[in-house]
Chain A
Amino acid sequence: MNNKNRFALVSTLALLAALQAHADTSGKALVKGHEYMAVTNTPNNLHLIDLKTESVYKTCEMPDRFGPGTLFISPDKTRAYVLNNNYRDIYGVELDTCKQVFHARLAQKAGEDARSMFSFTVSADGKELYAVANPMQRAIDHYVVGEPRMQVYSTDAGLDAKLLRSFPVPRQSYVMQAADDGSLYLAGPDIYKIDPKTGERTVALASRNWQRPGYSAPDVLYFWPHQQPNRDFTLLYTAARFADEKQDPETAEYLYGYMNINLKTGKTEVRDFAPLTELYFTGLRSPKDPNLMYGVLNRLTKYDIAKQQLIKAQELDHSYYCIAFNHAGDKVYLAGTFNDIGIHDAESLEKIGSIKLPGGDMAVSTTQVFIR
């Protein structure tokens, strides 16, 4: 065997070994009581990271195309639901086996294209899955944009899930989460409380239409529906607070704030927490101390909410989009953009480690932390 062939054989064996190793993890069951973090990345991965060892525990291969990879963990922690295939399909994956157990294509008829802008969730009892579809009908020589609709599925509808029911919802809807009382909170022009049985809708929190004296309407761009252990559904906003009735943007103060709905109690909250000095893609309150707000994009920061004061800021080696805490609240995990997850000490904000993921960009994926 010449050297060239020998090299080729060695490479092939290495590749096979790598594939073998990769394939091996899919059947590894999660361990009850262990804390995991789920995240997706390109080209088609769903990773489960063991937060005790801070390493990739297993990787499930997802079908079809990646994007956006937004995911929810079922309330019984046995499944992940992932929005993928360029915003067009929702897949349910059994975490212990990596087996696909649910698949819903959002488009409902021939010639229809329907995409969900991060807008789906699973009910608190795990029985139903909700998704907002933004439909577009392709005619032979033109498109017709249709009215967005909430599509309701049974989570045991299998791989060709059919609708249980559907009803219209406002345009420009995005993230949503399901409350313990069975209602659904959907962020759109305002944040709506929806009865998923009837489609009846009220405004839970005004957003575009809020009436806060002296404030501009808030700007909200929030595509990371974190499932928090304390059942908070949190979104960040920015807004201007004007000096007087003239509403001069030059003299206004620009602020960061959060909107919060507790999915257990239904309690809502809108609160400024900082002057707007830099942008954050995500922000979450500490599980240890709800007066602490952490934000991330180009820096990791920590604010005292009551004082509206920056406590600490940590420079980062690159941008991160998505923040998460472990249950203890002593560690912060930064994901999104590349394929490395930064581990930071929640107290000092210093970087204490990194988890390198197989595959590529995590893009706008949401990390979900849960205990099996």
Chain B
Amino acid sequence: MKATRIWRYLSAGALAMTAFGVLQPALAADGKALLEAKCKVCHLPDDNGVQRRIGYQRKTPEGWLMTIARMQIMHGLEISDDDRRTLVKYLADTQGLAPAEAEGLRYAMERRLNTIEEFDTQSKEMCGRCHSPSRFALQRRTAKEWEHLVHFHLGQWPSLEYQAMSRDRDWLELALKEMVPTLAERYGLDDPAWSKWQQERPAPTALVGRWSFSGHMPTRGDLHGVMSVEGGEGDNFRISLDGRYADGKPFKGKGSAILFTGHEWRANVEIDGVAMRQVFSVVNGEMKGRMFETEHDERGLDFVAAKSDQARLLAVQPEFLKAGEEAELTLVGSGLSGKPDFGPGVQLVKVLEQSPERLVVKVRAAADAAPGSREVKLGKLSGPSLAVYKRIDEVKVVPGYAIARIGDNGGATPKVQGRFEAEGWATDAAGKAYRVGILPASWSVEPFNERAAEDEDVKFAGVMQKDGVFLPGDAGPNPARRMSTNNAGNLKVIAEVEDGGQTLKGEGQLIVTVQRWNNPPLP
């Protein structure tokens, strides 16, 4: 119970402040003093003068937060929320991960919980069967520290060596003799990337200014705008966002941010009355990551931003154009000037609007424009691509495999929605399939298999809305169901897309399951 409460609180944005100015900037001196005062009782300095355990690990802000929270839950550490923030900040700054070290694993911090993770079989079976392997892949430790981690796991949860994928093998022996050396080699404490980042990391004031952003919110569409960043003292910032969706509706709000480790940007913002978080990495004048609702992290958007003093082309919205048709395209970036080049067969009809952050143009694609994905150029800038297509050949439901969770109904855990989009694919002249983009679709669900049909999962598990959002059922046993089971279900998610007089069908799978009771910042 206690753990559940603390994680609910922590996941609600403990890394960033709710109101700028209420808190003092976390000074390094405070952090060091707190580390002494709060941790040294147990973590004494060793012969090298390094604080035992703590001094031989590096991790993300979320990783440090989870460690300190565990010390509170399991080991009686008493620390105020403010002090915990200061300590997390200090540890993430002095013992964090360089941008390169977190690459490919940011999905965990960004709460992309439908990610199908790619890890070797042994890591998945030994560790990933209980938690995301990103938890250890986002840490750096000495071999001795990885060994401590194994002992901690089995000591804390003795049943783990009896579970499936443990009881068929000598788990402890494999963990100590195979996993520990593997982890120490892959994720050792000392890494040149970290020493390099410590030299290179820019002053926080380099982040102050205007940032042009582009985003895509699944089931809602593209958006773009400008985020203004002020402050910077003690790595704290005030931010305001002024943007709009493709349909013209505003996307506006204000908040505050903290920069950890010189690049880990965490913010709390209120957008049109909804509390949201930002989890970005900011490197070389580019911010990238995900924004999501504080209470519903499944509702969010991919976000990329470029600082005004960096000329950069971020996105073309929409990202596709049908051969033989005329359309309005928006180029989003910073330092935009000149006329865009969309390649042969796509003619620039008119520039409708031009600013350094936004270029709106009318274009026409010739009927015989070569189908395929092409790079868009604007002067020296490039990056985003435009898909020109004649017809859609395939529709994919994204995500192709997703989890939604029952909730509410008087319980402590909110429902987790499923959110789906239909992604069109076409074939180029060489016969190669290419992604066109997100297309409007009609949505429905069907039982995934015979069992789901028999158990009437479609009736009980929830409702698929017109916009591709699936609202799961209420939590708790349902007397109307066989064996009073809860409203779980196994569903086929079906998208139907109309294109050129044909209807194309895409299918995905949605597992509607029970609440995630233990929901720490890193899954």
Contact = CB atoms under 8 A, between A and B. Distances in A.
Contacts of B172: 145, 171
Contact of B53 (A113, A142, A316): A142
A319 interface: yes
Contact of A172 (B151, B161, B483): B161
Interface string A114-157: 01010000000000000000101010111111000000000000
A217 B484 contact: no
Contact of B168 (A142, A219, A318): A219
Interface in B13-33: none
Contact of B154 (A136, A138, A141): A136
B483 A143 contact: no
B156 interface: yes
A321 B484 CA distance: 16
Contact of B164 (A134, A144, A208, A219): A219
Nearest to A87: B158
B518 interface: no
Interface residues of B, number: 26
B169 to A, nearest CB: 8
B483 A142 contact: no
B280 to A, nearest CB: 34
Interface string B27-63: 0000000000000001110000000110000000000
A233 interface: no
A76 interface: no
A284 B172 CA distance: 32
Contacts of B155: 113, 136, 138, 143-145
A220 interface: yes
Interface in B474-519: 482-484
B451 to A, nearest CB: 11
A143 B52 contact: no
A221 interface: yes
Contacts of A289: none
A171 B158 contact: no
Contacts, number: 65
Given A143-B151, A171-B172, A136 B158 contact: yes
A143 B155 CA distance: 6
A136 B172 CA distance: 13
B353 interface: no
A140 B42 contact: yes
Interface residues of A, number: 28
Contacts of B42: 140-141
Given A87-B158, A117-B158, A117-B159, A316 B151 contact: no
Contacts of A245: none
Most buried by B among A140, A141, A298, A315: A141
B167 A220 contact: yes
Contacts of B159: 117
Interface string A299-341: 0000000000000000111110000000000000000000000
Contact of B484 (A140, A174, A318): A318
The interface residues of chain B, by DSSP majority, are classed as helix
Contacts of A219: 164, 167-168
A74 B6 CA distance: 44
B119 interface: no
Given A113-B155, A217-B168, A319 B483 contact: yes
Contacts of B156: 143
Nearest to A117: B162
A134 B151 CA distance: 12
Interface in A182-221: 189, 208, 217, 219-221
Contacts of B167: 172, 219-221
A142 B158 contact: no
Contact of B151 (A145, A174, A189, A220): A145
Most buried by A among B148, B151, B155: B155
Contacts of B150: 145
A208 B168 contact: yes
B483 A134 contact: no
Nearest to A173: B162
Contact of A144 (B151, B166, B171): B151
6 closest cross-chain pairs (CB), A and B: A143-B155, A136-B155, A143-B151, A145-B154, A142-B148, A134-B158
Given A172-B166, A219-B164, 7 more contacts: A113-B155, A141-B42, A145-B150, A145-B151, A172-B162, A172-B167, A219-B168
Interface of B: 42-44, 52-53, 148, 150-152, 154-156, 158-159, 161-162, 164, 166-168, 170-172, 482-484
12 contacts: A117-B159, A136-B155, A140-B42, A143-B152, A144-B155, A145-B154, A145-B155, A171-B161, A221-B162, A315-B482, A317-B483, A319-B483
